[in-house]
Structure 1
């Protein structure tokens, strides 16, 4: 992509070659069909190859209709991707019309009309399957095939003078229409003469038609190479500069220290509520021994999607204090005795917390010092949560499942949460409707992907210092790390990673460091004992190191996309990682059981998308804030937070180790 300014007609925000529309259409369309075929053959092979006369082994390859319309989840795979294909498809038809339109020539209009009609009828036979309504499915399918004739002929007639494109169109069109003859023949052999195996042969020709049909439209990439699609800001909003309004003091002060403590504790409250959600949800499938429906509360985190509504976004940003306080219902939930209502309360609290934190990050995005302090509060809050869970033997004293009898301090924790929320929101937010700067770049979608992988990694691997140690545990005799005292090393790696990410963000955002993170994830997944734990330390360092660059990039893009979509994908990862240990009654449970490696691969691929976004953003943007100001800010907000949490966690681990060794010493004495 390119980015430049046109002084006469506004600011060009993004431009890209139109051939990518063709490639997007081709790739997504092939993915729709092939993903359904792969999933169907893997899950329901014997069912989808069976027809009204024969089954396996006489018939051993499914038809297109049986693959995409008869079974779940292959039907869903196809429908999702074919729906995504519609966007590039409409764009492809429009671009072809613009390319071929000539004054006084009505043929391009007719061809464009046929292209639109084919697209709509494709939606018809896609979403009305033969199982739903056989007649309408056939009507849409036949209409699609009939409309293909004038579309193909029109494209051949109107082809620009591009010898290579014309040659490919002729070859593919010939293959397409030639294939129809044997396809009809073998269908008659199956339907009329009931020949065993004829339907399998027919299916191969049917699938060939699909491949040829998509390939024919893929040739437009050779013609669209001369087009460029440009998105412009005609009002020139990108030209306006944002003035900094925050002042930074140059000396240490107790109010600043109190600010840091309150912000970090508020971050700790967020992670406490988020980590409690899974515990409360898990109660219900165990109680009912099946899918209970309460699992839907995992979607509480996608509340930032509502920030796409401008009026609601303005309401939240003007009332951040109210929404942050409202999120504390998730801490107050310990007072609710009924498990279902308690889950409702925590789900509501998590929803408000995700909404208010995302709005806070976005509202502070125009002031880098304030944004960085909030991001640090969120991340150091995670470290504090891990440290406290270590002290409470993997429990959290403010979880709603805790009480005075089992070591909970819910009341005291709630009082501190209210005070910290009030202090956290005492400053007037800066509206994120103000542009973030003319030189900013990057992709909102890639930022959302990276954010989903980051949050999942932080939650699943680093919200408890014993998690990755238990991953590499092989039992007695002990040949690897122990949760006490070696969890301290995990905390140390997290702190060093966070420091590195703050002071060297462009270094940790490189592909080289990403490769090191991937190696660490691989070692953690494939090896046990100390070798596996060394990989865990690399992972702990890497995820905290990239957190600030990722969160910064996400905060400076549309919040509903980066945080809303990011949390949505994060939820799929959570479900994926639960399915790894799913019981037999869980639908699809056996498919991914014990495949933690698949979860780790998916996580690192999503993080890689975030790295791509951040590297692109770093290459095209400049840091406009003075280094001295940034250093002063970090002195107040980073070092006290990380140092206090680091020291506190170390003391907790020493105390926990002492609790383990004292009984042994007394028994030997």
Structure 2
């Protein structure tokens, strides 16, 4: 549709309305059809081959193999897709206009919002299509998969929304439903055959998968082609407008719409937007930014509190008494006293300024006093925010402004953590030596607090006349339900959405079913959070029980499924939860703050402790009741949200009039919030791009076919003085030139560990492949494997633990210089539970014994070494493994073992104050062809040997260091005093072997 002059103009061309959907269909179909024909002609055997089988078992190519792997079919497809993108984007916009014209002015505001949502969704879907077409799995597997997931997710509202909003036309509706049903119907068998191929590795399954994949292309193009039926009555004109004609004389000239309908098609929206932009002044934007930053400060201190509390029971190996600081948030109950509440309300800027003691606490070296300062900061910040929300409770515009800035502060918190690899740069565990930006964060916080102090706003006693509580707003049922809902919601936010990578770690599985990597997955979660917050304005929808069912379904998928399937469920849950943010918080802020937020914090604290108990059951009273019961915690959380929604459906956002001032504030805040959301998503996208790997990892000494492997228990990346230790860990791993390392006590994606993720930082900074190991829902303390060698496949094990803490293990197969080598990283139970350790070690022995590949063991097994120690013998003898140095009797928990490789060296390196546990490292070399031919340890022969004969295969003859080539030696920097307090100890030197 074009603009033509009201009085005159020359029509240069007339284009039928069907031209745009026709062009899109022709270019799109040609792209895939020509790629298939060219591919089958030129590279048939290559494009039907996959990681499981080739021709004749696999005889039909997949879409990705056809369009992404070979020249010229790949390039032909990409050129034609580029040609199709213009008509596709035009189609998105024309459909937006058609929706508004269909309804006219009957329900203009809601329909306009719906049309905008559908238009935005379709644009994102179009861009995502370009993402998986132009970035193939060979270019970036993660980016390709993320783009495909986004495309499929956006297809759901695209299909449903198009069918619901289409003009009445039985023929078009019939074809749309056919193509829609075939599209979604094909997904079920497609997923089935994908599982058969990817996990069960069934030859031929990928061919059947490919048929359903191609059917999606046909259904997708066919669905959009139906638009030709809707556009038959439209005509597009290219008009030459004389120069003296002004823009005000234009009208819509499609032959179907007149000048009066210009406003319906967006003129009013544009004028409203322009009016808002004109009204927004610099001080409005500054006030908004200050509130968002103070929201970020609140989330920063709230998330750091459990992390700092955790330091003390970690070192006490049990309850320490410092856990009571979790209840510092109960001071909010004092707001029940009118005088104190009014004082805080009149001094909000000052209270925010005082709360910055939690940020300033990084200057306090003593961990106990640092924790006290953070607890004070959390208490003060919470009281300031509660007073803000309560003071604005009957002015919807200002109240929602407070809620939105708090929500945006949470998203900002996630974006900055994404930039700092899951660490918050202003946390009290950060400082200038480990990547902290405490001074800058504190300085901006002071400016934000001062801005609040200088701001002119009505206070509680000034708004009583216009804010008299509405009838029934403070009955007992209402405030209790609201408090329960808000407590469950705050716990949900803290537990699952204060780190963008948490959802991807909840769904992590063994290779290759790992789900998206933290950078790409984190970006998708931030987009989902923004989408949920944007959806929150549709209050009737977000408080519906259907929407509650959708959110609960997403959480169920996240909890019970691994990989991409679980992650998609997590995205659905993310959108649902964030859509509730204003509704639940606004509902609870209408009640008396003292009693209401006191109960809110009690519910939050109860759920927080319950979530910790699920993994810490061995160290807390009556822990057996909550052992591994995250499902119960999630059910309790959902029950709280159900109660809160039930209350919000009746009491929130209704029967409240707004003053002109509050409506103006409402519109201004909404506009600023939209700008902020777009900016945060853009920033997250740039961070994601900057973190994508630039090159494949390479081992340190390929010239010798050397493997340097180590094991290290790292105490959750909190050093002995309560500072984040990831950078110091990175330096030690890099300087030791470790090709493979197992890290124990590494699962930090919990409230008590700050929802951190040392794995992503170390993997990206050291350029290594990473297997996170069993995720947070598996209730272990975590084990991670980092490798310079590609991980071909891996499985995660929860070792038998009938009584004590649950033990985890990773069994991975690596591609080491073209050969398969198996590695186990394990963290077994504690000394107190002998039966657990016995069962766990027996299982490890079975896994190692049954493998035919060369094998490396990197693990934590609580036992003394040597004959006569049952656990040690179960590991070495039962697994048919050689101890790296049997005469080293000064060991207790960390052990290295090997089979089927040549041992070169062994060293023990002090922990340097990072933990209380040393690093152990072994150097190995692949056997050459001659040695491999004579090896009695490979291809299962180790199982046929007697135990004595197997032990005699290992030579323990030591040689001096100068008898070892320089590239195979340990770095000399660790001799003597060492570097950064890391040095060779016990033996005071490495041991080398013939």
Fold in common (TM above 0.5) = yes
Q: Say yes or no: does 1:322 pair with 2:354.
A: no
Query: Would the aligned equivalents of 1:360 and 1:429 in 2 still touch at CA under 8 Å?
Result: no
Q: Say yes or no: does 1:505 pair with 2:535.
A: no
Q: Say yes or no: does 1:647 pair with 2:675.
A: no
- Residues 564 and 628 (structure 1), Cα distance of their counterparts in 2 relative to 1, 3 Å cut: closer
1:514 is matched with which residue? 548
Higher gyration radius (CA): 2
Query: Would the aligned equivalents of 2:398 and 2:665 in 1 still touch at CA under 8 Å?
Result: no
Partners of 1:393 and 1:569 in 2: CA distance? 30
Partners of 1:620 and 1:371 in 2: CA distance? 13
Give the one of 375, 400, 406 matched to 2:428. Answer: 400
Give the one of 489, 511, 530 matched to 1:495. Answer: 530
Partners of 1:255 and 1:661 in 2: CA distance? 49
Report the 3-state secondary structure (helix = DSSP H, G, I; strand = E; otherwise coil) of the residue aligned with 1:594.
coil
Query: Would the aligned equivalents of 1:298 and 1:571 in 2 still touch at CA under 8 Å?
Result: yes
Partners of 2:290 and 2:580 in 1: CA distance? 24
2:177 is matched with which residue? none
The one-character-per-residue Cα deviations of 1:148-171 (angstroms, maximum 9, x if unpaired) are xxxxxxxxxxxxxxxxxxxxxxxx
Map of 1:461-540 to 2, 5 A cutoff?
461-501=496-536, 503-540=537-574
The one-character-per-residue Cα deviations of 1:249-268 (angstroms, maximum 9, x if unpaired) are 85333332222222211111
Q: Say yes or no: does 1:582 pair with 2:582.
A: no
Query: Would the aligned equivalents of 1:291 and 1:586 in 2 still touch at CA under 8 Å?
Result: yes
The one-character-per-residue Cα deviations of 1:484-532 (angstroms, maximum 9, x if unpaired) are 212111111100100110x212211122211111111111112211121
Report the 3-state secondary structure (helix = DSSP H, G, I; strand = E; otherwise coil) of the residue aligned with 1:647.
helix
The one-character-per-residue Cα deviations of 1:409-456 (angstroms, maximum 9, x if unpaired) are 101110001101221343344344624453574711111011001111
1:616 is matched with which residue? 650
- Residues 661 and 353 (structure 1), Cα distance of their counterparts in 2 relative to 1, 3 Å cut: farther
Partners of 1:514 and 1:661 in 2: CA distance? 43
Q: Say yes or no: does 1:291 pair with 2:323.
A: no
- Residues 381 and 512 (structure 1), Cα distance of their counterparts in 2 relative to 1, 3 Å cut: same
Give the deviation of 1:554 after TM superposition.
Answer: 1.3
State the Cα RMSD in Å. 2.5
Q: Say yes or no: does 1:261 pair with 2:289.
A: yes
Query: Would the aligned equivalents of 1:280 and 1:343 in 2 still touch at CA under 8 Å?
Result: yes
Query: Would the aligned equivalents of 1:453 and 1:603 in 2 still touch at CA under 8 Å?
Result: yes
Query: Would the aligned equivalents of 1:441 and 1:616 in 2 still touch at CA under 8 Å?
Result: no
**Which has the bigger relative contact order, CA under 8 A and spacing at least 6?**
1
Q: Say yes or no: does 1:251 pair with 2:289.
A: no
1:568 is matched with which residue? 602
Partners of 1:631 and 1:319 in 2: CA distance? 23
- Residues 633 and 525 (structure 1), Cα distance of their counterparts in 2 relative to 1, 3 Å cut: same
Q: Alignment length, in residue pairs?
A: 420
- Residues 635 and 553 (structure 1), Cα distance of their counterparts in 2 relative to 1, 3 Å cut: closer
1:656 is matched with which residue? 691
Give the one of 465, 470, 474 matched to 1:438. Answer: 470
Give the one of 492, 495, 500 matched to 1:460. Answer: 495
Partners of 1:365 and 1:631 in 2: CA distance? 13
Q: Say yes or no: does 1:313 pair with 2:341.
A: yes
Give the deviation of 1:658 after TM superposition.
Answer: 4.5
Query: Would the aligned equivalents of 1:581 and 1:594 in 2 still touch at CA under 8 Å?
Result: yes
Give the one of 407, 411, 420 matched to 1:379. Answer: 407
Partners of 2:276 and 2:333 in 1: CA distance? 33
- Residues 660 and 577 (structure 1), Cα distance of their counterparts in 2 relative to 1, 3 Å cut: farther
1:197 is matched with which residue? none
Partners of 2:288 and 2:695 in 1: CA distance? 33
The one-character-per-residue Cα deviations of 1:27-79 (angstroms, maximum 9, x if unpaired) are xxxxxxxxxxxxxxxxxxxxxxxxxxxxxxxxxxxxxxxxxxxxxxxxxxxxx
- Residues 436 and 497 (structure 1), Cα distance of their counterparts in 2 relative to 1, 3 Å cut: farther
- Residues 252 and 314 (structure 1), Cα distance of their counterparts in 2 relative to 1, 3 Å cut: closer
Report the 3-state secondary structure (helix = DSSP H, G, I; strand = E; otherwise coil) of the residue aligned with 2:446.
helix
The one-character-per-residue Cα deviations of 1:339-377 (angstroms, maximum 9, x if unpaired) are 000000000100111111101111122322222222111
Partners of 1:248 and 1:444 in 2: CA distance? 36
2:391 is matched with which residue? 363
Give the deviation of 1:319 after TM superposition.
Answer: 1.7
1:207 is matched with which residue? none
Partners of 1:572 and 1:257 in 2: CA distance? 38
Partners of 1:282 and 1:296 in 2: CA distance? 11
Query: Would the aligned equivalents of 1:554 and 1:562 in 2 still touch at CA under 8 Å?
Result: yes
1:240 is matched with which residue? none
2:588 is matched with which residue? 554
Report the 3-state secondary structure (helix = DSSP H, G, I; strand = E; otherwise coil) of the residue aligned with 1:567.
helix
1:76 is matched with which residue? none
Query: Would the aligned equivalents of 1:451 and 1:562 in 2 still touch at CA under 8 Å?
Result: no
Give the deviation of 1:653 after TM superposition.
Answer: 1.6
Partners of 2:680 and 2:277 in 1: CA distance? 24
Map of 1:61-76 to 2, 5 A cutoff?
none
Partners of 2:686 and 2:621 in 1: CA distance? 45
Report the 3-state secondary structure (helix = DSSP H, G, I; strand = E; otherwise coil) of the residue aligned with 2:508.
coil
Structure 2: tracts of 5 or more residues without a match: 1-274, 698-765, 769-787, 790-994
Map of 1:197-276 to 2, 5 A cutoff?
251-276=279-304
Query: Would the aligned equivalents of 2:392 and 2:398 in 1 still touch at CA under 8 Å?
Result: yes
Partners of 1:659 and 1:372 in 2: CA distance? 43
Give the deviation of 1:659 after TM superposition.
Answer: 6.5
Query: Would the aligned equivalents of 1:402 and 1:408 in 2 still touch at CA under 8 Å?
Result: yes
The one-character-per-residue Cα deviations of 1:570-605 (angstroms, maximum 9, x if unpaired) are 011110000011151211222212111111100010
Query: Would the aligned equivalents of 1:439 and 1:621 in 2 still touch at CA under 8 Å?
Result: no
Partners of 2:487 and 2:330 in 1: CA distance? 11
Partners of 2:286 and 2:552 in 1: CA distance? 38
Give the deviation of 1:632 after TM superposition.
Answer: 2.5
- Residues 475 and 613 (structure 1), Cα distance of their counterparts in 2 relative to 1, 3 Å cut: same
Q: Which has the higher helix share?
A: 1
Partners of 1:425 and 1:366 in 2: CA distance? 22
Partners of 1:466 and 1:293 in 2: CA distance? 31
Partners of 2:331 and 2:693 in 1: CA distance? 43
Q: Say yes or no: does 1:604 pair with 2:638.
A: yes
Partners of 2:287 and 2:472 in 1: CA distance? 30
Report the 3-state secondary structure (helix = DSSP H, G, I; strand = E; otherwise coil) of the residue aligned with 2:580.
helix
Give the one of 475, 482, 495 matched to 1:447. Answer: 482
Report the 3-state secondary structure (helix = DSSP H, G, I; strand = E; otherwise coil) of the residue aligned with 1:584.
helix
Q: Which has the higher strand share?
A: 2
Q: TM-score, normalised by structure 2?
A: 0.41
Partners of 2:488 and 2:322 in 1: CA distance? 24
Structure 1: tracts of 5 or more residues without a match: 1-246
Report the 3-state secondary structure (helix = DSSP H, G, I; strand = E; otherwise coil) of the residue aligned with 1:582.
helix
2:925 is matched with which residue? none
2:966 is matched with which residue? none
Partners of 1:659 and 1:369 in 2: CA distance? 47
Partners of 1:545 and 1:660 in 2: CA distance? 39
Query: Would the aligned equivalents of 1:366 and 1:430 in 2 still touch at CA under 8 Å?
Result: no
Report the 3-state secondary structure (helix = DSSP H, G, I; strand = E; otherwise coil) of the residue aligned with 1:638.
helix
Partners of 1:619 and 1:413 in 2: CA distance? 35
Give the deviation of 1:639 after TM superposition.
Answer: 1.0
Partners of 1:278 and 1:661 in 2: CA distance? 37
The one-character-per-residue Cα deviations of 1:8-38 (angstroms, maximum 9, x if unpaired) are xxxxxxxxxxxxxxxxxxxxxxxxxxxxxxx
Partners of 2:512 and 2:309 in 1: CA distance? 35
- Residues 555 and 416 (structure 1), Cα distance of their counterparts in 2 relative to 1, 3 Å cut: same
Report the 3-state secondary structure (helix = DSSP H, G, I; strand = E; otherwise coil) of the residue aligned with 2:454.
coil
